[in-house]
Amino acid sequence: MEGNNTSTLSDSEYRGGALDVERMHAECPVFRILIIGKANAGKTTILRKVCNVSKKTKPVVYDAHGNKRGKHDIEHEITYPGSRFIFHDSGGFEAGHSEELEKVRSFTQKKALEPAIKDQLHLIWYCLPLDDQRPLSSAELAFFDVDTGNVPVVAVFTKFDALEKKTFTELHQQGLTRTEAQTRYSQHAQKYFEDTLLPLVMKAKAPPRTFIYMDQATSKCPELTSKSADALKDKAGLQHLFVITQKNNLVLRWLYAF
């Protein structure tokens, strides 16, 4: 992995400046993302699609010393062949277990103190699956009381199709015919999400910069990269770096003319 030499460019200059692609890659050759979410939240699928690799492509995991590892740890660096993204993976937060949340808090604070921009954390994706009977537990929502400093957070609500299926079943059980439920379930699921679930996150002490919802097939990954670029709009250098690093949204690269 990358060495420990510090950047010759100041943090404020890099984050706010307009640099050419060559110098940007020289100063910060990678874009670093922390992805959070419990097992089966869709994290692996998202990473593969963002890196534009197939299901058969295995991630490469390195520890802090640059040694390859098989199991993930929040400190370990995850990447895919040919990608300039580096991911850090954190499990979800369970009720009564504060260890994982404390790990994330400690990790983000430590990364904020890194002198080299390439070693800092640039973005956080928090995956919140909607296929549970009671989505968005208090343990999961506790993350949005954590100050992540200058690192933008994107809330990624995954498996929206599971919420739609649940809504269809509820409408049918309430007496609607299958045809009636079929025509109404999508609108009802959308309303429940916007009126009940989304405010729990967006009105928290430390809300995400933006959000996206997607189905189990993560068909909206190009939208995720667009939302992520928008979340970085006050960090011109990092926004530029993110756009040229991602490969699954060519329209985004065209829009930013990179």
Residue 205 has pLDDT above 90, yes or no: yes
Question: For position 255, what pLDDT does the model report?
Answer: 75
Mean pLDDT is highest, among 95-104, 155-164, 249-258, for: 155-164
The pLDDT of 81-89, averaged and rounded, is 93
Give me the chain's average pLDDT, please. Answer: 85
Who wins on pLDDT, 215 or 89? 89
Question: For position 65, what pLDDT does the model report?
Answer: 72
Question: For position 27, what pLDDT does the model report?
Answer: 79
Residue 2 has pLDDT above 50, yes or no: no
Residue 110 has pLDDT above 90, yes or no: yes
Specify the CATH architecture of the domain 26-160+206-248.
3-Layer(aba) Sandwich (3.40)
Give a three-class secondary structure readout of the chain: CCCCCCCCCCHHHHHHCCCCHHHHHHHCCCEEEEEECCCCCCHHHHHHHHHCCCCCCCCEEECCCCCEECCCCCCCEEECCCCCEEEEEECCCCCCCCHHHHHHHHHHHHHHCCCCHHHCCCEEEEEEECCCCCCCCHHHHHHHHCCCCCCCEEEEEECHHHHHHHHHHHHHHCCCCHHHHHHHHHHHHHHHHHHHHHHHHHCCCCCCCEEEECCCCCCCHHHHHHHHHHHCCCCHHHHHHHHHHCCCCHHHHHHHCC
Who wins on pLDDT, 102 or 12? 102
Mean pLDDT is highest, among 4-8, 67-71, 189-193, for: 189-193
Residue 196 has pLDDT above 80, yes or no: yes
Domain boundaries, the chain: 26-160+206-248
Question: For position 159, what pLDDT does the model report?
Answer: 92
pLDDT tens figures, 244-255 = 888 777 778 777
pLDDT tens figures, 138-149 = 888 999 998 898
Question: For position 220, what pLDDT does the model report?
Answer: 65
Who wins on pLDDT, 199 or 134? 199
Question: For position 15, what pLDDT does the model report?
Answer: 46
Question: For position 185, what pLDDT does the model report?
Answer: 93
> Is pTM beyond 0.75 here?
yes
Question: For position 71, what pLDDT does the model report?
Answer: 67
Q: Which of 12-16, 59-63, 251-255 has the lowest mean pLDDT?
A: 12-16
